[in-house]
């Protein structure tokens, strides 16, 4: 297989590239703008492989994207490039609308043009996989689960932009026959996760004995999925998914934020004992505006149709993740020192300044 991966220098994209290039031997072209969230250091294990290529490009740049399709001639595209952090979308929504909606539109049009000119056999085989989030479904009551037929009800600028892009992808399938697939997955965690998101932020603050911020009462529930399980799900959907379908991807691990933080405290204490248990560092802070209370995925469809199932439980995945951060300060230290050191984001008053990328701010 020969695929374009957009956003391949980000958290999930880099895990996908490492898997496809390193374990599956696919030819991969990573197309990434290198925003603050990108880190090419996440790809050191594959960057010299002959089946890996990188091009720095903005998915909103139609001329560049058309050229990339024409030159690389892929069998498919896995589209992950996005602005992805809900807190940042609250204080600065414009980039979310531009990249997540307009950028997806550029990719759909470029893919349609390229696909329309393929020979019949290649046209049949071509796939456009759009990677989206369960946040498009809104917030759940206790005991309920998102399925592929749950109505869309996005609540944040981020989830509204992702919902819009999902609708564009479905429309390109219905109107033009483009062979698209959509995945909506729950919150990912694992190695190489940019330390603005809950799990890496808490691990690093705990390691450095800094306050551990918990939004609201800590009762919000997220359904955690280990990133290496997620990339196998994406690959299964690209290879065997039914065209035009949506697949929800989840790890069957709905957990309250406070329990996640407590679990990390105990693991960090075990790795690096301290006089005061890390749980003492937990600090409740004002809630995120419009914070969805509960997400939980029913992954029955992908499990039964495609035979995929998350291999990691939350306990095994979080233990592996904490260990990875202990062993890989070379990766996260430059980010903490130069790009984002943990300041509160997403407050309506007092928004944080726009981040600079490692490219603009090299170590």
Return the number of other C-beta atoms located less than 10 Å from residue 95's C-beta: 17
DSSP 3-state of 337: helix
CB of 186 to ligand NAD, least distance (A): 7
319, burial (CB in 10 Å: exposed 0-12, middle 13-18, buried 19+): middle
Concerning whether 275 is annotated as a catalytic residue, the answer is no
Rg (C-alpha) for the chain, rounded Å, is: 20
Q: Does 310 bind ligand NAD (CB under 6 A)?
A: no
- Number of residues that this document lists for the chain: 363
Helix (H, G, I), strand (E, B) or coil at 151: coil
Instruction: Specify the 3-state DSSP secondary structure of 190.
Output: coil
What sign does the CA torsion over 192, 230, 133, 171 have? Answer: positive
Nearest C-alpha neighbor of 322 from the set 245, 277, 260, 229:
260
If one asks whether residue 7 binds ligand NAD (CB under 6 A), the answer comes out as yes
Shortest Å distance, C-beta 81 to ligand NAD: 4
33 binds ligand NAD (CB under 6 A): yes
Q: Counting contacts by CB under 6 A, is residue 257 touching ligand NAD?
A: no
| Long-range contacts at 328-333 (CB < 8 A, ≥ 24 apart) | 328/191, 330/41, 331/39, 331/41, 331/42, 331/192, 332/195, 332/200, 332/204
Among residues 317, 305, 337, the alpha carbon closest in space to that of 263 is found at 317
- Which listed range, 78-86, 113-121, 136-144, 267-275, lies at the site for ligand NAD (CB under 6 A)? 78-86
**Backbone phi, then psi, for 218, in 5-degree steps?**
75, 5
Give the nearer residue to ligand NAD in terms of CB position, either 150 or 281.
150
Q: Are residues 37 and 194 in contact, defined by beta-carbon separation less than 8 angstroms?
A: yes
How many angstroms separate the CA atoms of 269 and 288, rounded?
A: 28
Minimum distance, C-beta of residue 255 to ligand NAD, in the bound complex (Å)? 14
Sequence-ordered alpha helix ranges (H) in 24-119: 62-72, 86-91, 94-95, 104-116
Among the listed residues 27, 58, 229, 262, the single contact to ligand NAD using CB under 6 A: 58
Candidate segments 75-83, 173-181, 201-209, 272-280, binder of ligand NAD by CB under 6 A: 75-83
Residue 247 lies near ligand NAD (rule: CB under 6 A): no
Confirm or reject binding of residue 77 to ligand NAD (CB under 6 A): no
Active-site residue, 266 included: no
Bridge partners (DSSP) of residue 226 are: 189
Q: Is 34 in the site for ligand NAD (CB under 6 A)?
A: yes
3 binds ligand NAD (CB under 6 A): no
Candidates 3, 11, 215, 346; binder of ligand NAD (CB under 6 A) is: 11
> Using CB under 6 A, which of 82, 198, 204, 261 touches ligand NAD?
82
CB of 169 to ligand NAD, least distance (A): 12
Please give the helix or strand (H or E) that residue 172 lies within, else none: helix 157-176
Rounded Cα distance, 300 and 248, in Å:
8
208 contacts: CB under 8 Å, gap ≥ 6: none
Taking contact as CB under 6 A, which single stretch among the options 129-137, 212-220, 268-276, 302-310 is the one that binds ligand NAD?
Answer: 129-137
Please tell me whether residue 4 binds ligand NAD under the rule CB under 6 A.
no
234 is an interface residue for ligand NAD by CB under 6 A: no
By CB under 6 A, name the one of 4, 37, 136, 233 that touches ligand NAD: 37
Closest to ligand NAD by CB, 246 or 278: 246
Catalytic annotation, pick one of 134, 196, 229, 262: 134
Active-site residue, 262 included: no
Query: Which stretches of the chain bind ligand NAD, using CB under 6 A?
Result: 6-7, 9-13, 32-35, 37-38, 58-60, 80-84, 99, 103, 131-133, 162, 185, 187-188, 194
Q: Give me the active site residues, please.
A: 134-135, 158
């Amino acid at each position: 297989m020969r695929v374009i991966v957009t956003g391949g220098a980000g958290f999930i994209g880099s895990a996908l590239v490492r898997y496809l290039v390193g374990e599956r031997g696919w030819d991969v072209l990573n197309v990434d703008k290198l925003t603050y969230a990108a880190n090419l250091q996440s790809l050191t294990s594959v960057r010299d492989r002959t089946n890996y290529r990188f091009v720095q490009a903005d998915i909103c740049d139609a001329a560049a994207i058309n050229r990339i399709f024409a030159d690389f001639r892929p069998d498919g595209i896995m589209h992950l490039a996005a602005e992805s952090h809900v807190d940042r979308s609250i204080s600065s929504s414009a980039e979310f609308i531009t990249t997540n909606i307009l950028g997806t539109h550029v990719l759909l049009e470029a893919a349609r043009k390229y696909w329309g000119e393929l020979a019949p056999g290649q046209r049949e085989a071509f796939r456009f996989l759009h990677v989206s989030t369960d946040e498009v479904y809104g917030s759940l009551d206790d005991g309920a689960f998102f399925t592929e037929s749950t109505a869309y009800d996005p609540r944040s600028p981020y989830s509204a932009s992702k919902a819009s892009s999902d609708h564009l992808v479905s429309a390109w399938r219905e109107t033009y026959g483009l062979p698209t697939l959509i995945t909506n997955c729950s919150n990912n965690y694992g190695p190489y996760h940019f330390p603005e998101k809950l799990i890496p932020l808490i691990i690093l603050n705990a390691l450095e004995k800094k306050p551990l911020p918990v939004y609201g009462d800590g009762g919000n529930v997220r359904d955690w999925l280990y990133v290496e399980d997620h990339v196998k799900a994406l690959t299964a959907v690209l290879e065997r998914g039914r065209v035009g379908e949506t697949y929800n991807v989840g790890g069957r691990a709905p957990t309250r934020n406070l329990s996640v933080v407590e679990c990390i405290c105990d693991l960090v204490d075990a790795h690096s004992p301290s006089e005061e248990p890390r749980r003492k560092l937990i600090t409740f802070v004002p809630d995120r505006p419009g914070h969805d209370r509960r997400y939980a995925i029913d992954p029955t469809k992908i499990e039964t149709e495609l035979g995929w199932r998350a291999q990691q439980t939350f306990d095994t995945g979080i233990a592996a993740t904490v260990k990875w951060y202990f062993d890989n300060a070379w990766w996260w230290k430059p980010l903490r020192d130069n790009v984002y050191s943990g300041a509160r984001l997403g407050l309506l008053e007092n928004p944080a300044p726009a981040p600079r990328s490692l490219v603009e701010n090299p170590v």
